[in-house]
Amino acid sequence: PEKGSLVLEVDGIRKEFGGLVAVNDISFKLKAGEIMGLIGPNGAGKSTTFNLITGVLPATRGKVGFLGERLDTLPSREIAKLGVGRTFQHVQLLPTMTVLENVALGAHLRRKVSVLSAALHLERRDEAELLHEAARQLQRVGLGDYLYEQAGNLALGQQRILEIARALAADPILLLLDEPAAGLRYKEKQELAHVLDQLRQEGMSILLVEHDMDFVMNLTDHLVVMDFGTKIAEGTPAAVQENPAVLAAYLGG
Ligand code: ADP
Ligand code: MG
């Protein structure tokens, strides 16, 4: 999509868990080539919002549009195939497999064959192509020196970047990252921010859930703030930072 065009349109999505309104009629838009931050205290509904967009959970109501398609009626596998990649809040790597193998598995997501059928019938030529593509993605994010390392041996910051490479291997148009900077050291956060900034320059659209205000302030183009399931503020990082409702939510939370 052309830079600045509409990529994702979330329109009044809602999720109730029994009596709890985890996501309360949230709407926002994300444009191509933008890094948008979705921030808020613990329990605000950020991960649930991701799960609604990616079809991991069904919405109680509301619509999700992606490049003119409706996502909210599709299963998560189809959503991934359309070009929505994601990482989860907790690292989900295969620790005893190599860095390269972890990414090669991610590359299957947007192919026509399932992982299982691919594992059973993969031609050697296809396998070579898959590994080549995985290596290319790892070089793109600066992990080119670690291809044959066990994933579990990497530092946490490298594991988070590895998860991004795995998502990239499925050739996404939009990347959703759930708290990629959580638990990272200052230097690792800087490296992660550099990778994300570089992806943006290549035209990638990114939706970033983050708890860490400092991390999103310098990186994002646009912020949406949630608290108790509700959108309480939206705008540029500079404007949001000064917003009294946001300050109150963070001090109270
Ligand atoms: P955040 O990611 O902003 O920390 P979550 O989206 O994980 O928040 O959670 C929002 C609210 O929904 C919390 O109160 C949480 O306990 C609740 N919640 C999340 N997932 C479920 C679930 N599967 N069943 C019941 N309640 C849930
Ligand atoms: Mg969360």
Specify whether the CB–CB gap between 164 and 87 falls below 8 A: yes
Q: State the pLDDT at residue 109.
A: 57
Residue in this structure with the two tokens 């497999």, named with its chain if needed: 97
Q: Which of 48, 210, 224, 227 to mutate to test the pocket of ligand 1 (most atoms within 8 A of CB)?
A: 48
pTM: 0.92
Instruction: Strand 6-17: give its sheet, edge to edge.
Output: 20-31, 6-17, 61-66, 69-70
Pairing of strands 61-66, 69-70: antiparallel
How far is the C-alpha of 131 from the C-alpha of 123, rounded, in Å? 12
Give the pLDDT of residue 211.
82
pLDDT of residue 91: 82
Please tell me the predicted confidence (pLDDT) of residue 252.
Answer: 66
For residue 123, report the distance from its CA to the centre of ligand 2, in Å.
39
- In whole angstroms, how far apart are CA 157 and each of 57, 187, 211? 28, 9, 16
- Name the closest-CA residue to atom 25, ligand 1: 17
Of 243, 242, 236, 248, the residue nearest 37 (C-alpha): 236
Per-residue confidence in pLDDT tens, the chain, 253 aa: 888 899 999 999 999 999 999 999 999 999 999 999 999 999 999 999 999 999 999 999 999 999 999 999 999 999 999 999 999 888 889 999 999 999 998 776 555 445 555 565 656 667 788 889 999 999 999 999 999 999 999 999 999 999 999 999 989 999 999 999 999 999 999 999 999 999 999 999 999 999 888 899 989 999 999 999 999 999 999 999 899 999 888 876 5
C-alpha dihedral, 229 to 180 to 167 to 148, nearest 10°: -160
Q: Is the CB of 48 under 6 A from ligand 1?
A: yes
DSSP code at position 118: H
Q: Which listed ligand is nearest to 39 at the C-alpha?
A: 1
Q: What is the residue type of 28?
A: F
Residues 6+ apart with CB under 8 A from 138: 99, 100, 103, 144, 146, 147, 162, 165
